[in-house]
Amino acid sequence: MIQYIADAFTDKLFAGNPAAVLPCREMPAPQLMQSIAIENNYSETAFVVRRAPGDYDLKWFTPGGEVALCGHATLATSFVLHRYIDPDAQELHFHTLSGELIVRPGADGGYTMDFPVGAYKPVPVTEGILAATNGLAREAWYDGGDMMVLIGSEVELAALVPDYEAMGRVEGRGLIITAPSSRYDFVSRCFYPKLNVPEDPVTGSAHTYLTPLWAGRLGKKEMTAGQLSARGGELGVRLEGNRVFITGRAVLFMQGEIPFDL
């Protein structure tokens, strides 16, 4: 079978966030999906099964386990399907652990993903959060998903040296650190040591939390966002009610054959 590798949230190779995409005849056993994700060693491997034209089952695995929502691998999957398998689809519908997700290909080559807003609420800045952010944390939010922390500037964020051990002790699936920006409306870095993903290059799902937070702080519903990882990435985001629309591009790095059928 064919596996595709695509860089998401970028329009050039070797930037954005790489993801593996495997179009399968039927969903593999969880243990096999986990083994493939570990072998690939990307932050996400996506497994997608076609129900009907434009209608798919989709699962995401990190090297550390299955996740309920992944933005960049959904974007990469949409890019692969629209380019190689389902080129006439006006919408791609994905059935996932987070419910039905809809992705719409754009005329400009971008893809807009329709995601649910992430739940968050203010929490105290604890000693653990300060330790995980080199003492930079000013505010924090958490409600069972990712911990989200605000620091003072994008300069501080870009210079932050991660302490993955301290980050792994913070409550939540992962740690999102965000700051205001002069180039974008806001910037972030995202860390998932509990999932064996120390720093994720560009994280679509994090923007289901970041978008409503910054929409409220900036008084804007439509914004641009940058992720300040070594690879870097750019996203367009829009808040509409309880939905976040995330737009990005993707480019193909490679396609190769896995020596068995799925």
The amino acid sitting at 187 is V
Tokens at 166, concatenated:
């301290």
Q: Which of 26, 39, 44, 100 is catalytic?
A: 44
Helix (H, G, I), strand (E, B), or coil: what is residue 262? coil
User: Strand, coil or helix: what is 50?
Assistant: strand
In the residue annotation, 127 being an active-site residue is answered as no
Taking the alpha carbons at both ends of the chain, their separation in whole angstroms is 7
Beta strand 186-192 with 2-8 is: unpaired
Q: What are phi and psi of 230, to 5 degrees?
A: -60, -35
Question: For the chain, where are the E strands, in sequence order?
Answer: 2-8, 17-24, 45-52, 55-62, 65-67, 92-96, 99-105, 111-116, 122-123, 139-141, 147-150, 175-180, 186-192, 197-200, 222-227, 233-240, 243-248, 250-257
Per DSSP, the chain holds a count of helices (H) and strands (E) of 6, 18
- 229 close to 160: Cβ distance less than 8 angstroms: no
Tokens of 86: 């389902």
* Rounded to 5°, angle at Cα 184 from 211 and 240: 25
User: Which positions are annotated as active-site residues?
Assistant: 44
